[in-house]
């Protein structure tokens, strides 16, 4: 939307802000002491204390304005990000943001305008894929020091354009907009900034847990489903509506919008599960009820098995994606044909994507180099969901189904370990090794140590790495502590070489 829509109320708000800032340090000190208050509605009260422990995580403020017509959608945005260097032995000369819409596999267009660091304008550099934006820091950032970055940006999505899984797209009046803002990459001690650009299949995004304070202005008749919780919604009186959304302790902010969506919601263990679906599609009501039922049961199962989901809301969204399902923090999508079928595979996808809230969203991992860490566990989690629903025989049948698929594959093609990067697997091998053989690694651990002991180890792993990033050596050392030091032999056999942590 053009700037002329900035109305009087907004100007008055800016004036009030300017007055508040000029009132002196007292005002700022008070507001900074209470910085977590804004985010509380998005977390269950038992987890409010987690925010102070993560006070130095990246803090994003996003102001996004969507303009959409039949041919394209354009998002004009302003981001401010407070970044704190948490790498003990590193002094940073640069910051790296990722512009994921520019990857070929996303098929969008993202441009960044003026960028300031600590109030000074800087000239960023873009790589050949236009997805890695490197910002020079006016002065090096030592351990524990913070810096404020401001970026203006514009994202364009062309209607009808589909790349890879159509995960970033504008199809059938549905906008899918994950990572549609400059997202800080991960600084890894010893390796530097993560700048992976290959995305032949699987997931592309690796990021750190942060805080998102988002103002999103959309056409008044478009519905929004997003990471986090909507705090307020305001009709601007000009055909637009502004949502204020808080998404604390999340490693990405994803949003989806459509004028078609209806919503069905219910509570599970204090979490509001919301299903967003197109009511004009076949069996829409029945399938939405199924989506709600399965997702609630999956949340209940994983809360008990692994530890609690801390967020106040989980959104399930029907989109025209080509991946069956795709996970994001606090929200996931299921492909329309899968949703419409309303069958066992729909339940499978819902249970798999819900499990990613524990494995990927809460316990993070590099999905390009170590896809097994979230995918194999999400697949094994589905078997646990089936066990909770239908009992032991159904659980064994679920594992047998993985075993059948894996065996069928290795009768024709070479066997591989599950712990390789996506790029090390020929096209289909990625699916058969990571998604079919992967959960059998956990079945082998259950055979060796007992299912209850394995669940105990997974609970310890979740508790230790919730909101953090885990590497293979981390899960190995957690399992060594929880199960037995001899577990490294099973890791070597199934996962491959894991560096000693
Ligand atoms: Zn998955």
Nearest partner of 149 among 65, 207, 83, judged by Cα: 83
- How remote is the CA of residue 470 from the centroid of ligand 1, in Å? 17
- At 221, is the pLDDT very low, low, confident or very high (cuts 50, 70, 90)? very high
Segment 172-202, tens digit of pLDDT: 999 999 999 999 999 998 899 999 998 888 8
Span 126-151, mean pLDDT? Answer: 97
Q: In this structure, what token pair is assigned to residue 163?
A: 């790349």
- How remote is the CA of residue 129 from the centroid of ligand 1, in Å? 25
What pLDDT does residue 200 have? 82
Nearest partner of 180 among 116, 110, 237, judged by Cα: 110
Distance separating alpha carbons of residues 242 and 66, to the nearest angstrom: 10
Q: In this structure, what token pair is assigned to residue 2?
A: 């053009």
- How remote is the CA of residue 379 from the centroid of ligand 1, in Å? 8
Q: Which residues keep their CB under 5 angstroms from ion ligand 1?
A: 375, 378
Segment 225-269, tens digit of pLDDT: 999 999 999 999 999 999 999 999 999 999 999 999 999 999 999
Domains identified in the chain and CATH numbers = 50-257 (2.60.40.1730), 262-355 (1.10.390.10), 372-494 (1.10.390.10)
Q: Does position 133 have pLDDT exceeding 70, yes or no?
A: yes
What pLDDT does residue 497 have? 78
- How remote is the CA of residue 467 from the centroid of ligand 1, in Å? 18
Look at strands 240-250 and 210-219 and give their pairing.
antiparallel
Q: Does position 73 have pLDDT exceeding 60, yes or no?
A: yes
123, 127, 133, 139 alpha-carbon torsion, rounded to 10°? -50
What pLDDT does residue 10 have? 43
- How remote is the CA of residue 16 from the centroid of ligand 1, in Å? 46
Phi, psi of 6, rounded to the nearest 5 degrees: -65, 105
**How confident is the prediction for the chain on average, in pLDDT?**
93
C-alpha 204: how far from chain center: 11
- How remote is the CA of residue 136 from the centroid of ligand 1, in Å? 35
Which residues make Cβ contacts (< 8 Å) with residue 186, sequence separation at least 6?
193, 194, 206, 207, 208, 366, 469
What pLDDT does residue 15 have? 40
- How remote is the CA of residue 384 from the centroid of ligand 1, in Å? 15
Which residues make Cβ contacts (< 8 Å) with residue 341, sequence separation at least 6?
none
What pLDDT does residue 32 have? 59
Span 155-161, mean pLDDT? Answer: 97
Span 373-395, mean pLDDT? Answer: 98
Provide the 10 A C-beta neighbour count for residue 486: 10
What pLDDT does residue 18 have? 41
- At 396, is the pLDDT very low, low, confident or very high (cuts 50, 70, 90)? very high
Q: What pTM value is reported for the model?
A: 0.93
- How remote is the CA of residue 233 from the centroid of ligand 1, in Å? 32
Q: Does position 348 have pLDDT exceeding 80, yes or no?
A: yes
- At 432, is the pLDDT very low, low, confident or very high (cuts 50, 70, 90)? very high
What pLDDT does residue 33 have? 61
């Amino acid at each position: 939307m053009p700037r002329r829509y900035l109305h009087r109320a907004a100007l008055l708000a800016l004036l009030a802000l300017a007055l508040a800032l000029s009132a002196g340090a007292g005002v700022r000190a008070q507001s900074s002491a209470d910085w977590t208050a804004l985010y509380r509605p998005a977390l269950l009260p038992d987890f409010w204390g987690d925010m102070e422990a993560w006070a130095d995580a990246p803090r994003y403020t996003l102001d996004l304005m969507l303009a959409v017509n039949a041919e394209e959608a354009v998002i004009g945005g302003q981001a401010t990000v407070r970044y704190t260097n948490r790498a003990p032995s590193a002094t940073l000369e640069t910051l790296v943001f990722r512009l994921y819409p520019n990857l070929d596999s996303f098929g969008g267009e993202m441009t960044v305008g003026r960028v300031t660091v600590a109030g000074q304008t800087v000239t960023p550099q873009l790589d050949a894929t236009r997805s890695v934006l490197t910002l020079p820091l006016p002065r090096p950032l030592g351990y524990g020091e913070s810096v404020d970055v401001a970026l203006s940006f514009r994202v364009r999505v062309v209607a009808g354009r589909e790349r890879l899984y159509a995960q970033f797209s504008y199809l059938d009046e549905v906008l899918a907009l994950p990572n549609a803002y400059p997202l800080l990459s991960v600084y890894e001690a010893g390796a530097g900034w993560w700048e992976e650009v290959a995305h032949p299949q699987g997931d592309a995004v690796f990021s750190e847990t942060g805080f998102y304070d988002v103002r999103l202005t959309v056409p008044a008749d478009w519905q929004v489903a997003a990471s986090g919780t909507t705090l307020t919604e305001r009709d601007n009186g000009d055909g637009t509506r502004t949502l204020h959304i808080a998404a604390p302790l999340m490693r990405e902010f994803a949003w989806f919008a459509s004028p078609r969506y209806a919503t069905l919601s219910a509570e599970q263990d204090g979490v509001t599960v919301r299903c967003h679906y197109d009511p004009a599609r076949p069996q829409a009501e029945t399938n939405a009820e199924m989506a709600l039922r399965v997702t609630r049961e999956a949340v209940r199962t994983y809360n008990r098995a692994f530890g609690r989901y801390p967020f106040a809301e989980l959104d399930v969204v029907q989109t025209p994606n080509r991946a069956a399902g795709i996970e994001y923090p606090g929200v996931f999508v299921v492909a329309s044909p899968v949703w419409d079928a309303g069958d066992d595979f729909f339940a499978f996808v819902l249970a798999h994507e819900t499990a990613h809230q524990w494995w990927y969203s809460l316990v993070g991992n590099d999905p390009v180099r170590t896809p097994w860490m979230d995918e194999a566990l999400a697949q094994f989690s589905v078997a646990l969901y089936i066990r909770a629903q239908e009992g032991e025989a159904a659980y064994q049948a679920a594992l047998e189904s993985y075993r059948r698929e894996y065996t069928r594959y290795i009768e024709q093609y070479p066997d591989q370990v599950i712990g390789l990067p996506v790029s090390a697997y020929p096209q289909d091998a990625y699916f058969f090794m990571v998604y079919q053989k992967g959960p059998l690694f956990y079945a082998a651990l259950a055979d060796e140590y007992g299912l209850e002991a394995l669940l105990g180890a997974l609970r310890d792993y979740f508790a230790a790495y919730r909101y953090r990033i885990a590497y293979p050596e981390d899960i190995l050392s957690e399992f060594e502590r929880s199960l037995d030091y001899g577990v490294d032999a099973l890791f070597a056999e199934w996962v491959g070489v894991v560096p000693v942590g």
